[in-house]
């Protein structure tokens, strides 16, 4: 197959940042996707529906003219989020979910939930109103190995939550392990997962062999090849519990290439091509449309897009660098390397 036409895809997990960064991130992601779930871990975080709507207005100032770009907003879950805010999410036209970061788990997550048992009253309202809970699924205890933090979260945090709130809609975001994939498979359809392009295409050898590659560093961190293989299996299986979420996150080159490099991969400029390459590598390119365009919309209870895009099998090179902010640059994921699929 040398070309494929898909329903316009959506990205159910992206970081756009704020302020001047939006001039870079919004046009990039809008060229690839229609709806995007915008992560709320700004400084300060987006904690209320009113703050989310204000953030959306700032994003839309940078949307390409005439595009169907539709940012969908998320609240940042804290220990002090009032249960009453859930009703406001349910009534909002543009806010769709609430995001739980375990405190200290990733970029700008210091205000996250310190103990999920503290917010059970909010989870009860989320279950009642069928508002999705989005989870960064890692524990943050310093004694837990970084490669084991996802599984530890499943066992110690998520399993008890599902036992307590069996109808709660949950998205376990950017899963990285076979443990997480099998955990989702064992749940009902109200539990789903997003998968990033980097976790489908790469593993920890790409990060570590021959020297540390800072632009492959993300959280949750890349895992073994065996986990990568399982993620490819479930992503390309046609199971609607798995759908696209890039976790694309901009970091200036100098903040990645230093002694304490930031976690995050910027995939926005070639995201759908990355996924096409991953699906094609395992001979399942025909299943990309469900994963990229249908299953996420269905889970969120939103209509599927009606526009279409076409991808052709044609080599092209990922840009080496992208302009960012005033005088900085971003090194995108797989910079300078060749992809076999191209959006036309």
**Encoded tokens for 95:** 């806010």
Of 53, 55, 75, 64, the residue nearest 26 (C-alpha) = 64
d(CA 149, CA 187): 20
| 327 assigned binding-site residue | no
| 263 assigned binding-site residue | yes
| 15 assigned binding-site residue | yes
| 17 assigned binding-site residue | yes
| 315 assigned binding-site residue | no
Mapped onto helix, strand or coil, the DSSP state of residue 174 is coil
28, 179, 247, 280: the active-site residue: 247
247 is catalytic: yes
As a residue count, the chain comes to: 344
Read out DSSP for 70-115?
EEEEEEEP-TT--THHHHHHHH-SSEEEEEEPBTTSSTT-TTSBS-
Omega of the bond prior to 285 within 30 degrees of 0, cis? no
d(CA 172, CA 183): 10
| 108 assigned binding-site residue | no
| 94 assigned binding-site residue | no
| 219 assigned binding-site residue | yes
Contact 172, 99 (CB under 8 A): no
Pairing mode, strands 322-324 and 328-330: antiparallel
How many helices (H) does the chain have, and how many strands (E)? Answer: 14, 13
Q: Which residues are catalytic?
A: 247
Q: Known binding site for substrate: residues? A: 15-17, 41, 136, 219, 251, 263
Q: Known binding site for Zn(2+): residues? A: 13, 15, 99, 136, 174, 247
Q: Known binding site: residues? A: 13, 15-17, 41, 99, 136, 174, 219, 247, 251, 263
């Amino acid at each position: 197959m040398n070309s494929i036409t898909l329903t316009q895809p959506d990205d159910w997990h992206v970081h756009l940042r704020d302020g001047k960064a939006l001039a870079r991130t919004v046009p990039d992601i809008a060229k690839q996707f229609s709806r995007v779930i915008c992560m709320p871990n700004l400084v300060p975080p987006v904690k209320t529906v009113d703050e989310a709507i204000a953030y959306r207005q700032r994003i839309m100032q940078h949307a390409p003219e005439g595009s169907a770009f539709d940012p969908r907003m998320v609240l940042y879950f804290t220990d002090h989020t009032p249960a009453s805010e859930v009703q406001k999410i349910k009534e909002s036209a543009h806010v769709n979910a609430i995001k739980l970061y375990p405190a200290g788990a990733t970029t700008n997550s210091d205000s996250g939930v310190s103990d999920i048992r503290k917010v059970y009253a909010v989870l009860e309202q989320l279950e009642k109103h069928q508002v999705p809970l989005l989870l960064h699924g890692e524990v943050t205890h310093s004694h837990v190995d970084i490669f084991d933090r996802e599984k530890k979260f499943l066992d110690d945090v998520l399993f008890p939550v599902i036992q307590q709130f069996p109808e709660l809609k949950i998205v376990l975001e950017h899963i990285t392990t076979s443990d997480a994939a099998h955990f989702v498979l064992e749940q009902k359809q109200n539990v789903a997962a997003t998968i990033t392009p980097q976790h489908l295409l790469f593993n920890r050898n790409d990060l570590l062999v021959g020297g540390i590659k800072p632009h492959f560093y993300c959280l949750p961190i890349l895992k073994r090849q065996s986990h990568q293989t399982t993620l490819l299996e479930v992503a390309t299986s046609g199971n609607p519990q798995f759908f696209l979420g890039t976790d694309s996150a901009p970091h200036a080159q100098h903040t990645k290439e230093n002694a304490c490099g930031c976690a995050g991969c910027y995939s926005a400029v070639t995201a759908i091509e990355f996924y096409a390459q991953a699906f094609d590598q395992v001979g399942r390119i025909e299943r990309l449309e469900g994963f990229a365009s249908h299953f996420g919309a269905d889970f969120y209870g939103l209509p599927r897009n009606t526009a279409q895009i076409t991808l052709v099998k044609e080599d092209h090179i990922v840009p080496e660098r992208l302009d960012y902010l005033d005088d900085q640059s971003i090194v995108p994921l797989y910079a300078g390397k060749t992809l076999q699929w191209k959006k036309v």
